Amino acid sequence: MKEYFSVKMRASLQGKHISGAERIVLKEDLPIVISQLSQRPKDFDFLNIKVEKINDLHYIEKSLNIKTFNVKDWIEGNKVAVEILQNQGVDKKVAEKYIDLIHQGAADGENMRGAMIVSLSGERLEKDKIRGVRTVNVDFEDRESITQLLKEKGYTERTVDAIALATKNLNHVSIVAEYCISDDPDYTIGYVATKTTYYRINPLKQKSNEKGGRIYFVKDTVNIEDLYEYLEKKAFLIKNLGDLQ
């Protein structure tokens, strides 16, 4: 009987979060993974590694497909993003309003710690608007070979994490789309995820902007307690990578 564990690492420097990562691994791989994750942040004064046994593991057969749009600038990137969101039933004004907020810092000018939840009718539904909701407990079953394959094709380790996270999100019946930009001022590629596809948009934010975050667009009928339980508790391994389009 295989035993799986979740390993979560977070590190900070002078009170500022600088690095975070998560893996779901077999018990025998814990020493190597804990060692790898502890070496990830270069400079820190606080590092926490949490290891938890997973008792109820679920599987997703295939991740979202990946399609890339290379665009002139982040303004054009966001036009593409809004069009994709509109095709999923998100109102143009609702999409633009919350996208603007993410680019300006959705927690009173600072980044939210987790994601924003917005209903199709335009209401914000997070229980705590500074904290937001955090999607955790998801990984690829064979992370190593998927990472290698994606890196060979010019994707980054961030893409690997983001596809896993978006695949878990869109697997929930109430989430219709996700919008994401990084809070790393140098990382300008972002994405919009739909039920089938991870649309990677390059660029989606202005270089040197330190603001970033995620928006989960949900059906009006969403049960928020159920959604939090799913995103923050339920554990998933993804078996295969979707198509690269």
Q: Please choose, out of 9-17, 57-65, 99-107, 158-166, the segment that lies near ligand PML by the rule CB under 6 A.
A: 158-166
- Residue with the two structure tokens 């070496």: 39
108: left (phi over 0), alpha (psi -120 to 50) or beta: left
With CB under 6 A as the contact rule, the residue among 116, 146, 162, 237 that binds ligand PML is 162
In the complex, the smallest distance separating the C-beta of residue 195 from ligand PML, rounded to whole angstroms, is: 18
Q: Please choose, out of 3-11, 17-25, 91-99, 151-159, the segment that lies near ligand PML by the rule CB under 6 A.
A: 151-159
ω before 31 within 30° of 0 (cis)?
A: no
Helix (H/G/I), strand (E/B), else coil: 229 = helix
Whose Cβ is closer to ligand PML: residue 132's or residue 212's?
212
The neighbouring-strand residues paired with 200 are 68, 191
With CB under 6 A as the contact rule, the residue among 166, 180, 193, 227 that binds ligand PML is 180
Q: Using the rule CB under 6 A, is 159 a contact of ligand PML?
A: yes
| Token representation of residue 41 | 């942040």
- Phi and psi at residue 20, in whole multiples of 5°? -155, 145
CB contact at 8 A, 182 and 205: yes
Q: Using the rule CB under 6 A, is 158 a contact of ligand PML?
A: yes
With CB under 6 A as the contact rule, the residue among 78, 167, 169, 182 that binds ligand PML is 182
| Token representation of residue 170 | 């869109």
How many residues bind to ligand PML according to rule CB under 6 A? Answer: 11
Q: Please choose, out of 34-42, 125-133, 185-193, 231-239, the segment that lies near ligand PML by the rule CB under 6 A.
A: 185-193
In the complex, the smallest distance separating the C-beta of residue 192 from ligand PML, rounded to whole angstroms, is: 11
Whose Cβ is closer to ligand PML: residue 94's or residue 190's?
190
CB contact at 8 A, 75 and 206: no
Characterize the bridge pairing of strands 190-193 and 175-181: antiparallel
Interface residues with ligand PML (CB under 6 A)?
156, 158-159, 162, 180, 182, 189-191, 200, 212
